[in-house]
Amino acid sequence: MQDYYIIDNFIDEEYIDRILENMKSSEYVNLDGTKEKHLIGKTYYNYNVFRDGIRQNEDIKNHIFGKLNSFYEKELGKTASSENLNPLQFFTKSFDPNTGFYDLHTEDPKYFGEIVFMLYLTDEPDGELVLPSYSDSLPLWSDGFQTMVDNLNVEYVQETIEILPKRNRCVFAKVGMAHLVKPCTGKRYTVSGWSFADDQYYKEFYNR
């Protein structure tokens, strides 16, 4: 498996419009890294998670998972279940303009599985996803990221890449890679998920 993949025109365009319409008419919860629970290392972020029922929308869910599983079958030799999804596995999110961001961090493949996807729904001038090289990451290390490095096998790309959010662009990344999201002047609407995240971890960590 590669460190990351970028696939444009990932799903049928009509689904992008439907997802955006549902998000914009739904309530959302703001997640602030200064207040949320952390598994390993406290890193900072700010973004919104929507209560738009995407996990219960069979048409949208089946269309996206059809595309996801075509990719997973080819690259991983397996597919992800689309049934009884928890919020780590499939959710929608956005940024508040000039407020949203995510500092340098990583996730543990033990709990989150081996791959994450991010399907961007809007064209943005900034808010890049950054996968830094080891040397480029050093000035960005926080105490929380140091804790991650001390406890996890953090990986880095050989050459830093910055990926701009673009409508209907899907990015897949290997879990365990160091990454961050730059501040965005727009909303940065996204469908995302760790498709192979451990369900038991979600229930225990979030007391669900």
Using left for φ > 0, alpha for ψ between -120 and 50, and beta otherwise, residue 9 falls in: left
Residue with the two structure tokens 């689904």: 15
For residue 40, the model assigns a pLDDT of 83
Which stretches of the chain are DSSP H helices?
Answer: 13-24, 58-75, 109-112, 134-137, 143-151, 199-205
Rounded Cα gap, residues 44 and 133, in angstroms: 20
Which CATH fold would you assign to the domain 4-205? Answer: Jelly Rolls (2.60.120)
pTM of the model: 0.95
For residue 203, the model assigns a pLDDT of 74
User: What would the two tokens of residue 157 be?
Assistant: 């790309």
In the Cβ-directed half-sphere of 88, how many Cα atoms lie within 13 Å? 19
Q: What residue segments make up the domains of the chain, in order of their start?
A: 4-205
Rounded Cα gap, residues 28 and 144, in angstroms: 27
- Do the beta carbons of residue 45 and residue 30 sit within 8 Å? no
- Between the alpha carbon of residue 55 and those of residues 37, 76, 88, 131, the distances in Å are 23, 23, 11, 28
- Do the beta carbons of residue 200 and residue 85 sit within 8 Å? no
- Between the alpha carbon of residue 38 and those of residues 66, 114, 180, 184, the distances in Å are 32, 19, 16, 23
- Do the beta carbons of residue 103 and residue 142 sit within 8 Å? yes
pLDDT in tens, the chain (208 residues): 999 999 999 999 999 999 999 999 999 999 998 887 777 888 999 999 999 999 999 999 999 999 999 999 999 999 999 999 999 999 999 999 999 999 999 999 999 999 999 999 999 999 999 999 999 999 999 999 999 999 999 999 999 999 999 999 999 999 999 999 999 999 999 999 999 998 877 776 666 5
